[in-house]
Amino acid sequence: MRLGDGARIVGQTVRDAMGALVSENDDTKRIPRSCSLWILWRLDAHAAHDYHGGVTHAPVYPHDPIEEVLPDVFMVRGSIRFNAFMRISRNMAILRHAGELTLVNPIRLNEDEEQNLRSLGQVKHIFRLGPFHGLDDAYYVDRFGAELWTAGESKTYPEPKADATLTPGADLPVPDTEVITFAGTRQPEIALLCHRNGGLLLTCDAIQHYGDYRHNTWLARLMMPFIGFPRTTIVGPIWLKFMTPEGGSLEAAFRSLLQHDFDMLLSAHGSFLGRGAHDAVKKAVDKAF
């Protein structure tokens, strides 16, 4: 048996096992049995917390230092750990305006890097673009008094409650930035488009880019191509299955997104795409639909 065959079998085994867990939830009975990563997120949300003064926060997971990708735009390449064998990438964007910071897809940093974050400005806002990310939102709300903006209700992370909603036309704390919704999804998710340097698209799970598999464990690196996460730009396959209404299609939402101009992409997973993002996303959409 070839290595690829083995990985394919492992991937299917994980999908089936996790799919069985999904079916126990009344609200998710119609979800295809391949939502393994989504269920892992849920398990993590309940199992991987530590405690600070009676308030539950997730621990710090391995991450890189803060790096500046554009003037007043920074990113952190980090991770989330599901178990001893599975850790995958997770990214945060940091937008600075007038000395205030907005964290997009927030991830908690170690003490040294948190000091560096504080030196950039005051953490005032956190943006949750998608309903399946929110592990570290409570940390920033409790420790920094950050204002939480979300795309809407999240069944995975019902707490903390949002202070504001990311809707098209919203008066955002970051200028030259607009909200783009993915219309028709089963739970609300949005993308952010920063109109600078040709356009920077910030996404959560809907669109992801993998130039490499940094911060993935060896098992995750082995499995990723076989469960729909090859080294390229993709429409998140598990996200798509979970978010598409029964008998429906989200193609129109992605075609609408392509009406906008952008050249760079930073997703909550994978790596930063510094140019050619529009073409890359178009190819991903064409392949997904």
Name the residues that contact Fe ion, by CB under 5 A: 205
Which residue number, 93 or 173, has a Cβ lying nearer to Fe ion?
93
Min separation Cβ 135 and Fe ion, Å: 10
**CA geometry: angle at 54 spanning 50 and 58, to 5°?**
25
Of 111, 122, 259, nearest in space to 183 by CA: 259
Min separation Cβ 58 and Fe ion, Å: 14
Which residue number, 179 or 207, has a Cβ lying nearer to Fe ion?
207
Q: DSSP letter string over 1-70?
A: --HHHHHHHHHHHHHHHHHHHHTTSGGGTTS-TT-HHHHHHHHHHHHS-EEETTEEEPPPPP-PPPEEEE
Which residue number, 125 or 269, has a Cβ lying nearer to Fe ion?
269
Which residue number, 44 or 173, has a Cβ lying nearer to Fe ion?
44
Min separation Cβ 176 and Fe ion, Å: 26
Min separation Cβ 80 and Fe ion, Å: 8
Of 150, 127, 154, nearest in space to 45 by CA: 154
Query: Nearest to Fe ion by Cβ — which residue?
Result: 205
Running DSSP on this structure, what letter comes out for residue 202? E
Min separation Cβ 154 and Fe ion, Å: 12
- Round to whole Å and give the CA distance between 145 and 260: 33
Which residue number, 45 or 120, has a Cβ lying nearer to Fe ion?
45
Element spanning 140, H or E: helix 137-144
